[in-house]
Structure 1
Amino acid sequence: MNLKRYSVFAILAAVLLLVSGIWIVLRDPAGQNKCFFGEVEYAPVLQWNGVIYNENWDTPLTGLKKGKPVGEITYTKADHKCPRKVMQDGDATLLDVGTKLYEVTGYKASARLWAGDRLYEANSNPNAKTLNDLLDVAGKIKTVRFISGMDGTTHLMDFTPEAAEIFIREFPKLKYIPFQELYKQTKGWVGANYWLEIEMKDGSTMTIVYNTLSPSFNPPAYATPELAALVEQQRKLIYTK
């Protein structure tokens, strides 16, 4: 599977399949067996200060710098046949024990962390009220574009400057809702999805998914009517040029 495409699926699945231990519940509904004896393909996830982070492995890193050290990984789920179901601070799915964690210069540690030389971004924060609380992107976004949902890489079209200005202003203000809740409220987040890429002023990028039926985003938030109309209007431009 294309790594960029997989990274988005990891964002969608990480909370459901890793944080809550649903893969154990599915195997053992009674919850009597704490071990999993099959093959587990973990998404790259870590927890720090109550925040769950996913690796962003498809973004350019040259414009990002390491800040202060904040800690290190102390437990790796993939190393255990009987991993604990609920992640704790310092836990990772795949990172080696001892991997150092650092701030990302210019971003809050609750939004981004370096794990060694890998970039991890928040996808779940119990203290976040808005998407900016989760992502710390206000004032940092350069542009937004549609990308192909087939490969997660091909650029289809940048938003027009006027539309990008509105999106850049309004997207960080959206009310954050944990993906578990969004998933339940939308009965599985069903419906067609658009893939978008946000490019930061430092050159790093973030892939987001827009659901047309809800309408809502992941990173998780419901779109305002203005943003929903904006995304649909910009999408139509792809096919009129």
Structure 2
Amino acid sequence: MVKWIGLLQGAAALAGCGATGNEQVQPGTRPEVQAATAVPEPIAEKTAEPCGAVIEWVDFLMIDDIKYYQNYDGTKEVSAEQKGDKVGEVSYMLNEHACTNHVTQNGDAAFLPIGTEIYALKGYTPEFRVVAGGKIYEVKDNPKAATMEELFDIKGKVQKVSLESGMDGSLIGDFSEAASEAFIRELLPLPYFGFDKVYEQARFETGVFLRVTLQDGTSFRMIYYPKANAFTAGAFGTETLKELIMTQRAQIKAAAGL
């Protein structure tokens, strides 16, 4: 039996929710689970275990070819009144059932039991956010999206953009109102390429932590890489957007004495 230790690259650096900004993912692996090191153990002649692996899964689900990660640090438990129409249900729970070679399919979820119903979240398109098990799951990858506006249903819904610490994720300061508006205006038309394309350019770079707070009080993290001029959400920025981010970052850090 070979024992694998799965690394959480998770909703964190890869989805923009709770990362350090320095995580690196081995090429060819899926961000929801990554086998890191193999530690050989004596091979038993017989074993009842279906998978000789110990895996830590990111809390994700997949429906309609869209992969979602739980937004654990920018949302709260969802009330019944916030649920929209049913959009699917879980048909397979990976935790303690799937092995490292499992290919993610529609209906898969890391920790939600089979039969868990998945709902739209009122106020947002289901391509951006859904609700399952009382938790909000936010898009990580949508192969049908052509732009960031099609990926993130946030147009007209943003309250502010903020700068966070790359060390502990704490708030450093907010963009000015004008800069927040300009950030969203520049971000949404960007072509959506997906994480893999960005990873090719930014895998060895330390990112700038940004948080986008929406008008309903929820938020999500975005990580921006200046040298690659790219976001882990799956887009490459314009020069105007790069200048805006770096200028606001410098001003906020100076005001905070950093």
TM-score (norm 2): 0.79
Shift of 1:226: 0.3
Matched, 1:90 2:94: no
Matched, 1:99 2:116: yes
**Cα deviation 1:93-123 (Å, max 9, x = unaligned):** 2222121100011111111100120100011
Matched, 1:129 2:146: yes
Aligned to 1:32: none
Letter in 2 for 1:208: M
Matched, 1:148 2:165: yes
Aligned to 1:113: 130
Q: 1:113 and 1:53, CA in 2 relative to 1: closer, same or farther beyond 3 A?
A: same
Aligned to 2:5: none
The answer to whether the 8 Å contact 1:192/1:213 transfers is: no
Aligned to 1:80: 97
Shift of 1:217: 0.9
The answer to whether the 8 Å contact 1:37/1:81 transfers is: no
Paired with 2:144 and 2:108, the residues of 1 have a C-alpha distance of 19
The answer to whether the 8 Å contact 1:77/1:84 transfers is: no
Shift of 1:61: 3.1
Residue 94 of structure 1 aligns to a residue in which SS?
A: coil
The answer to whether the 8 Å contact 2:14/2:232 transfers is: no
Shift of 1:82: 3.9
Farther-moved stretch of structure 1 (121-130 vs 81-90): 81-90
Query: How well do the aligned residues superpose, as a CA RMSD in angstroms?
Result: 2.7
Paired with 2:233 and 2:132, the residues of 1 have a C-alpha distance of 21
Paired with 1:16 and 1:182, the residues of 2 have a C-alpha distance of 14
Farther-moved stretch of structure 1 (75-84 vs 214-223): 75-84
**Cα deviation 1:142-200 (Å, max 9, x = unaligned):** 11000111122x1101001221120122212211111112212x1x5221211010000
Aligned to 1:157: 173
Paired with 1:129 and 1:81, the residues of 2 have a C-alpha distance of 31
**Cα deviation 1:6-39 (Å, max 9, x = unaligned):** 64135376x9644797649x86xxxxxxx75221
Letter in 2 for 1:166: A
Q: How many residues align?
A: 226
Residue 58 of structure 1 aligns to a residue in which SS?
A: coil
Residue 219 of structure 1 aligns to a residue in which SS?
A: coil
Q: Which structure shows the bigger proportion of residues in helix conformation?
A: 1
Paired with 1:207 and 1:16, the residues of 2 have a C-alpha distance of 24
Aligned to 2:155: 138
Paired with 1:178 and 1:8, the residues of 2 have a C-alpha distance of 16
Letter in 2 for 1:133: E
The answer to whether the 8 Å contact 2:77/2:136 transfers is: no
Paired with 1:20 and 1:228, the residues of 2 have a C-alpha distance of 29
